[in-house]
Structure 1
Amino acid sequence: MTSDAVEVLRLGDHAVAEYAWRPSLPASLAPRPYLHPVRTLAGTTVTELMPASHRHHLGVSVAVAEVDRHNFWGGRTFIPGHGPAWLDNQGSQQHVRWLRRTPTQLSHTLRWSTIDGDPLLSERREISARLLSPDVWALEFGFTLTNVAGRELPIRSPAAHGRIGAGFGGFFWRAPFVDCRITAETGTGTDAVHGRAARWLSVAGPGWTLVFLGADAATQADRWFVRTRDYLGVGSSLAWEQPLRLEPESVLSRRVITVIADGDLPSGQAAAYADDLAS
């Protein structure tokens, strides 16, 4: 057990996800709340936690490579002209107050602080589960960030520093590393969606399918980060080549819905979920 506080999302008799909201983690991992395990209704786990190759990958979380030079992704920081390096700059996301705790809905506030404890962002996070069919359910994950630092906060990915393709940072899902099929509104295969905006994308593994949907206009405009080499990860990215600059007291919100299915969903069904669930 890596956490001293866990809430369980349930749909009927099914424990579909566990949310570690006050994790006990080393500073090098950029401690933050995460969902793991997330399961299909048949009980198959579709997340990974702290795999050997990337210990800072924590199931489903909000992980940002750089907020004003502070690392909320975990692990090493990308330095232009040098590459990834270990720095003492990992931040953390701490639970502040519960707003709602039910078997299908969790809502709380968080504080994003530097390694020295200085607050940069306040967050309101909402997570919910709903049943779509006997073998399909949906996980909705929304977050709203407010700049409380009193200065502009540039949010960057390594791609903004010149690392081609490394536009990660925002909502991130670490899935089990398996042979999979990537399909999206923009085409088939990783290259058809990585670094692009798409209304939906699906990842089909052995006996399960995940369909990721941008649930509002702002999220739909963000590019997807998709990696199938070395690990399987999907993220909705806040910033790619250019920083996202958050002014003092300004707010950004994002919302992702993930459809979690047993078996293989055809692309037409994935598109139908995008029509039905996303605004």
Structure 2
Amino acid sequence: MTSPDTLVLRVAGRPVARYVTRPELPARLSPRPYLHPVTTLAGTVVTELSPGDHTHHLGVGVAVPDVEGHNFWGGRTFVRDQGPTELDNHGTQRHTGFQLRDPDGFVSELRWVAAGRELLRERRTVTATELTEVAWALDFTFALTNVTPGALSIGSPATNGRPGAAYGGFFWRARREDRAPDVFTADREGESEVHGRSAGWLALAGAGWTLVFAGATEETRRDPWFVRAAEYPGVGSSPAHTERLAVEPGDTVVRRIVTVVADGRLDRDEAAALVRKAVTP
């Protein structure tokens, strides 16, 4: 732990992730807590923070481009029949405190605020667990509760008219290298084959590292994966893939993603074995 606003996660005594709760960011980036850097056990960094191609990509976290018209993703907003548009509609995720704060995990509370009012309240639970001498797992659960008196809906550029752009929810901006990472699931390979499809797990493999993402609840496993490899390396789940996700007053949306962080390039059998070890009911 380095300050009241920053927490360092450790696995087997080694630092593997830094959680920043109150970053000083311009409103256009939709300020929010994030994990960066996240590393393998050998120390290879596997996240990026505010890269030049997408300055609103902030390591690992939760980002949603459309909560009842408010942008909690950052950058431009996709407007139907108009395209990406600069709007003054950005929200902020405000960390209000830790309910649990340990070297291997935390539970935190956040308020999602836009236009002067709170829309959602989040309970975020994150743990780091050793799997093998070369792999560990980041278990990330977020629960979003509608605290307004009316119904809210969560959307994406895809639901607003941009096919193939159903990003929003859990998102991991991965390490960019000279060569695009390989991406594969248990039965498919390549960005075009895995993007926009549901799969029990999905792997992103770079030069000397592999990330394996797995939905850890039935609802999460039903969400298709949002995948980028050629343009930039990033993976997220898509709760608003083809239709807006309605959240009634007092209702809570929960998603849980477990990510295996491994040194070396895993093959399918190795990836599947580590997912089985990492994902527990």
> What are structure 2's unaligned runs of at least 5 residues?
none
267-276 vs 134-143, which moves further: 267-276
TM-score normalised according to structure 1 size: 0.96
Instruction: Tell me which residue corresponds to 2:125.
Output: 126
Cα separation, 2, equivalents of 1:61 and 1:149? 23
Q: Deviations over 1:140-184 (max 9, x none)?
A: 110101000111111001000110100000000001123211111
Q: What CA RMSD, in Å, does the superposition of the two structures yield over aligned residues?
A: 1.2
Superposition deviation, residue 131 in structure 1: 0.5
Supply the AA of the counterpart residue of 2:159.
A
Supply the AA of the counterpart residue of 2:112.
W
Q: Residue 45 and residue 64 in structure 1: after superposition, are their counterparts in 2 closer, same or farther (change >3 A)?
A: same
Cα separation, 1, equivalents of 2:278 and 2:51? 32
Q: Structure 1 residue 198 and structure 2 residue 199: aligned?
A: yes
Whether the 8 Å CA contact 2:131–2:277 is kept in 1: the answer is no
Whether the 8 Å CA contact 1:4–1:24 is kept in 2: the answer is no
Percent identity among equivalent residues? 51
Superposition deviation, residue 12 in structure 1: 2.8
Q: Deviations over 1:236-273 (max 9, x none)?
A: 11101210011111111000000000001111121223
Cα separation, 1, equivalents of 2:124 and 2:4? 20
Superposition deviation, residue 11 in structure 1: 1.5
Instruction: Tell me which residue corresponds to 2:264.
Output: 263
State how 1:1-279 maps to structure 2 within 5 Å.
5-114=5-114, 116-178=115-177, 179-278=180-279, 279=281
TM-score normalised according to structure 2 size: 0.96
Q: Residue 230 and residue 136 in structure 1: after superposition, are their counterparts in 2 closer, same or farther (change >3 A)?
A: same
Cα separation, 1, equivalents of 2:56 and 2:168? 13
SS in 2 for 1:192: helix
Q: Deviations over 1:102-135 (max 9, x none)?
A: 1001111110000x22000001001110101111
Cα separation, 2, equivalents of 1:184 and 1:118? 41
Cα separation, 2, equivalents of 1:4 and 1:161? 39
Aligned residues: 276
Cα separation, 1, equivalents of 2:92 and 2:125? 18
Whether the 8 Å CA contact 1:4–1:23 is kept in 2: the answer is no
Superposition deviation, residue 4 in structure 1: 8.2
Whether the 8 Å CA contact 1:161–1:241 is kept in 2: the answer is no
Q: Deviations over 1:37-67 (max 9, x none)?
A: 0000100000000001111000001000100
> What are structure 1's unaligned runs of at least 5 residues?
none
Whether the 8 Å CA contact 1:200–1:211 is kept in 2: the answer is yes
Superposition deviation, residue 14 in structure 1: 1.1
- Runs of 4+ off more than 6 Å: none
Cα separation, 1, equivalents of 2:233 and 2:75? 17
SS in 1 for 2:149: coil
Cα separation, 2, equivalents of 1:230 and 1:117? 35
Cα separation, 2, equivalents of 1:90 and 1:4? 26
